Amino acid sequence: MFRQTLIRAMIKRGIVGGATNNRQQKDVVDITMDGDAATVGALLEALRATKPLNSWGAQVETLTVLKTGMDIDDHQVTTTNVDGRSWNPNVEMYL
């Protein structure tokens, strides 16, 4: 549910992006965001400060910003495909 929560927070803010579960580290999600720098920065701060992010207890423990990342379309969940996936409807999102 972390990926859906994050992607819906991006959509709400007009950010284009994607999220993918990291195959090597099960507790890591790789994220790519593209949008207004101030808006992306505000979402990053919200990810750091909001605990939990949803009613399932998702949270960010460490956030590392990299200069480059995956192409958005290569992610498992994106701002364009999130509605085409089958998600459990019983989650409240706080972002």
pLDDT in tens, the chain (95 residues): 899 999 999 999 999 999 999 999 999 999 999 999 999 999 999 999 999 999 999 999 999 999 888 999 999 999 999 999 888 888 999 99
Backbone angles phi, psi at 76, to 5 degrees: -65, -45
- Domain boundaries in the chain? 2-84
Please say whether the structural domain 2-84 has been given the CATH code 3.40.720. Answer: no
CB proximity list for 6: less than 8 A, separation 6 or greater: 19, 29, 31, 47, 53, 95
CB proximity list for 48: less than 8 A, separation 6 or greater: 60, 63
